[in-house]
Structure 1
Amino acid sequence: MDKKLIEKIINFRDDRNWSQFHNPKDLAISISLEAAELLELFQWNNSDEVVENNYQELQDELADILIYCTLMADKLDINLDEAVKKKLEKNEKKYPVEKSYNSKEKYDQL
């Protein structure tokens, strides 16, 4: 993630003295709540229609999730770029192309 953007997120939090409220538990809850708000946009609706009619709301909810993930990573001293790279390496082993291509099966079912 761009360092300037991370700094902007952290500065937004710090300018308001919100770090005191951002412990890992509450940040995890906030991530989950924002993900639920994203999911709620799709509830009882056709996926294509939601994307077409609620594009800005989708962007906003994804941004909220990413902001809270960034704040949690900062609180836990996790480099998100490195964490994502390591996770992709794990996933490449769990889901090799030759077994997982065009399949929706979980890795233990391949």
Structure 2
Amino acid sequence: MSDDRTTLQDLKEKMAQFVHERDWEQFHTPKNLSMSIAIEAAELMEHFQWLTVEASKTLPLDALSDIGEELADIVIYSLSLANALQLDLTDTVLAKMAKNIRKYPSEKVRGKSHKYTHYLQDRESDGTER
């Protein structure tokens, strides 16, 4: 299986089967899964904690492997949370992207990294609506 041949539904089903075979549904509550995502995100950040920006872009293979495992844990828990909450991830991601497109219009934000509220102030000052 690879990214170009695997759907989100395939991954969600694999996770559901894995959890079910271990009788872990009782532990896979939205609270526990959201906490697990945050914990795994912190473990991912540890790999980059003291690196320079340049060093973070040129990682040795063993570091990439470890980072990949942490990223996989985040995705795994995210898939399990989507299952627990019966969220369609494709619909959810596309809706969020549409919202981000509105919040971050490319003609205003290209090459900038401000939070969206910065651009709301620009809209207010030039008379356009939110």
Residue 85 (structure 2) pairs with residue 76 (structure 1): yes
Any gaps of 5 or more consecutive residues in structure 2?
A: 1-6, 120-130
Q: Secondary structure at the match of 1:35?
A: helix
Compute the displacement of 1:23 (Å): 0.7
Residue 30 of structure 1 corresponds to which residue in structure 2? 36
* Superposition misfits of 4+ residues, deviation over 2 angstroms: 46-51
Compute the displacement of 1:104 (Å): 0.7
Offset from partner CA, 1:64-88 (integer Å, 9 cap, x none): 0011011011111111111000000
The range that moved more, 52-61 or 86-95, is 52-61
Q: Which structure has more helix as a fraction of its residues? A: 1
Whichever residue aligns with residue 45 of structure 1, its letter is L
Residue 46 of structure 1 corresponds to which residue in structure 2? 52
Residue 12 of structure 1 corresponds to which residue in structure 2? 18
The equivalent position to 2:100 in structure 1, one of 79, 83, 91, is 91
Any gaps of 5 or more consecutive residues in structure 1?
A: none
Q: Distance in 2 between matches of 1:66 and 1:85?
A: 17
Contact 2:82 2:88 in 1 (8 A): yes
The equivalent position to 1:100 in structure 2, one of 109, 116, 119, is 109
Q: Secondary structure at the match of 1:19?
A: coil
Q: Secondary structure at the match of 1:52?
A: coil
Equivalent residue pairs, number: 110
Q: Distance in 1 between matches of 2:53 and 2:47?
A: 9
Whichever residue aligns with residue 23 of structure 2, its letter is N
Alpha-carbon RMSD: 1.3
Offset from partner CA, 1:40-87 (integer Å, 9 cap, x none): 111112344345121011111111001101101111111111100000
Q: Distance in 2 between matches of 1:69 and 1:56?
A: 20
> Identity over aligned residues, as a percent?
40
Residue 71 of structure 2 corresponds to which residue in structure 1? 62
